[in-house]
Chain A
Amino acid sequence: MEKKEILLVEDNPDDEMLTLRAFEKSRVANRIVVVRDGVEALDYLFARGAYAKRVKEEVPQVVLLDIKLPKIDGLGVLRAIRNDETTRLVPVVILASSREEQDLVRSYDLGANSYVCKPVDFNNLAEAAHQLGLYWILLNQVPPVRRGI
Chain B
Amino acid sequence: MHPDTPSTNQSIFGIFISFFFIFIVSIIIVGVIVYTRQSARINTHLTQDLPALTELKTIQLTNWYSEQMSNAATLSNAFVVENHSAFSRVHQEMSRKMIRSWLEDKNKAFQYKNIMLVDHAGTILVAASPSSVTGPLFSSSITEALQKGKALFVDLHLDETGKFPGCEIIVPLFGSGVPAGALIFQIDPNRALYPLVSKWPVTSMSPDSFLVRSAGDESILLSASKLEKDAVPFKPLSSTSAIKAALACGGGTEGEDRSKVPIIAVALPVPNTPWMLVALIKKGEMYAPVRAVIGHALMLIGSLSAVAGLLWYRQRSTILREMIRLNEEANSLELRYRYLTKYANDIILLTDDALNIVEANDRALETYGYSNSELLRMNLLQLHAEGAAALAREHLNRLSVHDGIAFDTIHRSYARSDFPVEVSIRQAMVEGEALCFCVIRDITERKAAAERILKLNYELESKVADRTKQLEAVNRELELTNKELEAFSYSVSHDLRAPLRSIDGFSLALIEDYEHLLDGKARDYLQRVRAATQHMARLIDDMLRLSHVARAGMRFETVSLSDIAAEVVRGLRELYPERKVDSVIDGDIIVCADSALLRILFENLIGNAWKFTSLNSAALVKTGFEYCGGERVFYVRDNGIGFNMKYAKKIFQPFMRFHSMKEFPGTGIGLATAERVVRRHHGRIWVESTEGQGTAVFFTLEEKEHGKERDTAC
Residues of A within 8 A of B (CB): 12, 14-15, 18, 21, 25, 67-68, 97-98, 100-101, 118-119, 121
Contacts and interface: CB of A to CB of B under 8 A. Distances in A.
Interface centre among B490, B495, B505 (most CB of A within 10 A): B505
Contacts, number: 46
B506 A119 contact: no
Contact of A68 (B494, B506, B548): B494
A15 B509 contact: no
A97 B497 contact: yes
A118 B541 CA distance: 13
B535 to A, nearest CB: 15
A14 B494 contact: no
Mostly helix, strand, loop or mixed at chain B's interface?
helix
Contacts of A100: 489-490, 493, 544
B498 interface: yes
B502 interface: yes
A83 to B, nearest CB: 25
A119 B494 contact: no
A97 B544 CA distance: 12
A68 B493 CA distance: 11
Contacts of B506: 14, 18
Given A68-B494, A97-B493, A97-B497, A14 B509 contact: no
10 contacts: A12-B498, A14-B502, A18-B502, A97-B493, A97-B497, A98-B494, A98-B540, A98-B544, A101-B552, A119-B501
Given A12-B502, A97-B495, A118-B501, 8 more contacts: A21-B509, A67-B494, A97-B494, A97-B497, A98-B540, A101-B552, A118-B497, A121-B508
Interface centre among B489, B501, B506, B512 (most CB of A within 10 A): B501
Interface string B538-567: 001100100010001000000000000000
Interface centre among A18, A97, A101, A119 (most CB of B within 10 A): A97
B501 A14 contact: yes
Contacts of B493: 97-98, 100
B504 interface: yes
Mostly helix, strand, loop or mixed at chain A's interface?
loop
Contacts of B497: 97-98, 118
Contact of B501 (A18, A67, A68): A18
A14 B504 CA distance: 11
Contacts of A21: 505, 509
B544 A14 contact: no
A25 B505 CA distance: 13
B505 A98 contact: no
Given A18-B506, A18-B509, A21-B509, A101 B494 contact: no
A121 B512 CA distance: 12
Interface centre among A15, A25, A100 (most CB of B within 10 A): A100
Contacts of A119: 501, 504-505
Contacts of B502: 12, 14-15, 18
A97 B494 CA distance: 5
Contacts of B495: 68, 97
Interface in B570-593: none
Interface in B492-519: 493-495, 497-498, 501-502, 504-506, 508-509, 512
Given A100-B490, A100-B493, A101-B548, A15 B498 contact: yes
Interface centre among B490, B512, B544 (most CB of A within 10 A): B490
Given A98-B544, A101-B548, A14 B490 contact: no
B505 A18 contact: yes
Return the 9 tightest CB-CB contacts between A and B, nearest first. A14-B502, A98-B493, A97-B494, A18-B505, A119-B501, A97-B497, A119-B505, A68-B494, A100-B493
A21 B513 CA distance: 10
Contact of A97 (B498, B504, B508): B498
Contact of A98 (B508, B509, B541, B552): B541
A14 B508 CA distance: 13
A59 B37 CA distance: 168
Nearest to B541: A98
Contacts of A121: 508
Nearest to B501: A119
Interface centre among B493, B504, B541, B552 (most CB of A within 10 A): B493
Contacts of B509: 18, 21
A129 B402 CA distance: 92
A97 B502 CA distance: 12
Nearest to A12: B498
B541 A14 contact: no
Contacts of B512: 25
A115 to B, nearest CB: 14
Interface in B135-167: none
A48 B204 CA distance: 175
Nearest to B504: A119
B548 A14 contact: no
Contacts of B552: 101
A66 to B, nearest CB: 9
A15 B499 CA distance: 9
Nearest to A100: B493
B551 to A, nearest CB: 11
Nearest to A101: B548
Interface in B467-489: 489
